[in-house]
Amino acid sequence: MELFSDKNIFDKPLADRLRPKNINEILGQNHLLAKGKPLRTMIEKGELHSMIFWGPPGSGKTTLALLLAQFTKANFVAFSAATSGVADIRNVIKQAEYERKFHNKRTILFVDEIHRFNKAQQDAFLPHVESGRIVLIGATTENPSFEVISPLLSRSKVYVLQQLSPDDLKKILKRALDSEIGLKPFNPSVDDKALDYIAVIADGDARQALNTLELAVMSTETDSKNKRHITSEIIEDVVQRKFLLYDKSGEEHYNLISALHKCLRDSDPDASVYWLARMLEAGEDPLYIARRLVRFASEDIGNADPQALVVANAVKEAVDFVGMPECNTALAQACIYLALAPKSNAVYKAYEAAKRDALETIAEPVPIHLRNPVTGLMKKLGYGKGYKYAHDYPQAKVNQEHFPKSLRGRKYYFPTERGFEAKFKKEKK
């Protein structure tokens, strides 16, 4: 199978022209493709089984699938969630059966962005995977354990591709500059600093790195010697800003908010502001972050600093009132305050313990002395009888039973010695 059969090769984007044509040209995936590794051995032997390639954009998922088809001499059919549906599978299966019967060729059905297929669409692949009519190779940037149905996942081997390092990307960029089907015919002269800059801003995405380099070269005028000089300043003009890998509904969304929450909990204001910036600059909804800060203020700080909840609510109002990008400093201010505040999860633990009792014990009636006698009948039935009004006692403290009978003596809230909560602990004794 020819990866490139077009005569007009320069009609293809640079990233497509420079796809690796053998395993040794693939960078950054040594954990899968080094000598003796199972995936490399399988490719070299021409063996096939259904699999899922999970990795970030531009890490080589499509290239690996193409190489598998090339090494195994299999028929390669690309299937995309954006353009294909269940009805198209029938045509693929018919063609697969024909290729197997008359040409003794297996068919690889490559499903790009398999996480975008709904359950019914994924179900439609199952019988054909089980029967061996097709070898399914799915590519996804999302965690397949969340996005791929269990029956399909259990019949496929998941291979995790890693994000390419800046060094890997720099090698790919240099390969593009030296290749006759790459950018060499355009006589580019690229500063090493510019290559470093592209390798960093591409965030491990080879396609993005190559697209950036190609755009910079093609948009630069030649000098008197027919050379195109590319500097880091030109790259900055081309890119305008760094495009951060982020999917507001995907796993990275939860990874980043988890990182922010944990850095706040660990009292690290610097890392907290960094993860905040990562989310905001990638386009996260600032109100979502504000809501998480409100939750953090009560869950991880609580009464160690009651002002934390006030600050968190204030930033929520600021975000709603000002919006992006002006609200970024309000969110940063709140993050720094919450990170430096004394920590206590006593409120969180108190609620969780009370919730368990509420759910797992009999829902006993409210003790009669705690009931409010709002009608004459209620008063006759004894509602409120024996209730001690706290303000009639010294320091407005009263000793009376507040729990249902089976829960008498329960303790949920155990203040810490940190911050304002130390005062609560002393008063609670």
52, 5 in Cβ contact below 8 A?
no
For 382-421, how does the pLDDT look when each residue is reduced to its tens digit (9 = 90+)? 888 988 888 988 888 888 888 888 888 888 888 888 888 8
What is the per-residue pLDDT for 245?
52
Would you state the pLDDT for residue 2? 44
The encoded tokens of residue 310 equal 């006030």
Q: How far apart are CA 327 and CA 125, in angstroms?
A: 47
Q: What pLDDT is stored for residue 249 in this prediction?
A: 52
Q: Which of 75-89, 199-213, 246-260 has the highest mean pLDDT?
A: 199-213
Mean pLDDT, rounded, of the chain: 87
The alpha carbons of the chain give a radius of gyration, in whole angstroms, of: 31
**How many CB atoms are located within 10 Å of the residue 4 CB?**
13
* N-to-C CA span, the chain: 79
Res. 298: pLDDT tops 90: yes
Question: Would you state the pLDDT for residue 3?
Answer: 45
Paired strand residues for 188 = 228
Q: What is the tens place of the pLDDT at every residue in 5-57?
A: 455 677 788 988 999 988 888 999 999 999 989 888 888 887 888 999 998 88
Three-state DSSP class for 107?
strand
- 310-336: pLDDT as tens digits: 999 999 999 988 888 889 999 999 999
pLDDT exceeding 90 applies to what percent of the chain? Answer: 33
Q: What residue type is 264 in one-letter code?
A: L
Residues 6+ apart with CB under 8 A from 405: 364, 367
pTM across the whole model: 0.62
Domains of the chain and CATH, by start: 29-160 (3.40.50.300), 166-239 (1.10.8.60), 251-340 (1.20.272.10), 364-428 (1.10.3710)
CA-closest candidate to residue 287, choices 258, 315, 311, 265:
315
Residue 296 CA to chain centroid, in angstroms? 20
Alpha-carbon torsion 300, 303, 306, 310, what sign?
A: positive
Q: What are the phi and psi torsion angles at 24 (to 5°)? A: -65, -20
